[in-house]
Amino acid sequence: MNRKQVTGKQVIAQMNVTIDDERYTLNEFIQVSREREGYDIRFGARILDISENEYIELEKGNYIITETMLNILINNYKMPRKIKRLLQNPDKPIHAQRITELRVKAQRTQKETAELLGIPQTTYAGYETGRNEPDLTTLIKIADLYDADLNYIAGRYNKWTTKKHPLKQRMPIVSMHVC
């Protein structure tokens, strides 16, 4: 089984896991779990059927982790099954995926984010699951909170960009009134 043959949903390696008040990125948590079980890198590479160099890159966050790979790691490293919740749901609207990604990259909880936006946590959770759609005002607040471009959140860009992108110049808004 090589990387191209592995199927399953892709997982963002920057997803955060909080266990016993310690916050880890997914790749860090994989490394901590491997070390806790007393396994070496060779073992991790062997169970995933990848090279040791690829496994090292996986623990650094530079290698795509699929659902299949995550299941193997959960079973062999005795990781909590709730880690599966980190898998992206491809049925979620793109804005829900992007909002979740931005929050996770900022290492904030849903509750913290909702408080910063001035909305209930349950409403914000609905934005991330795709149950609710944020109105334009809320989307602007979210974009401002993460210094993200609304076009990225809406799925028009595939790369995360900031509103202060050096190659973009914003035209000032000019209004004219005709009497």
Amino acid 174: pLDDT? 44
Rounded-to-5 percentages of helix, strand, coil across the chain: 50, 10, 40
Structure tokens at 121: 């946590």
Model pTM score: 0.46
Amino acid 3: pLDDT? 36
Q: Which residue has the higher pLDDT, 66 or 168?
A: 66
Domain boundaries, the chain: 3-86, 94-153
Residue 1 has pLDDT above 50, yes or no: no
- Written out in words, the top-level CATH class of the domain with range 94-153 is mainly alpha
Amino acid 93: pLDDT? 86
- pLDDT tens digit sequence for 87-111: 545 577 888 888 988 888 888 889 9
Residue 10 has pLDDT above 50, yes or no: no
- Written out in words, the top-level CATH class of the domain with range 3-86 is mainly alpha
Q: Which residue has the higher pLDDT, 67 or 119?
A: 119
Q: Which residue has the higher pLDDT, 18 or 9?
A: 18
**Where do runs of H (alpha helix) occur along 7-120?**
26-36, 41-48, 52-60, 67-77, 94-105, 110-117
Which residues, 6+ apart, have CB-to-CB distance to 76 below 8 Å? Answer: 37, 39, 47
CB atoms within 10 A of CB 65: 24
- pLDDT tens digit sequence for 19-32: 555 666 778 888 88
Q: How far apart are CA 169 and CA 165, in angstroms?
A: 8
- pLDDT tens digit sequence for 157-178: 765 555 554 434 443 444 445 5
Q: Do domains 3-86 and 94-153 have the same CATH topology?
A: yes
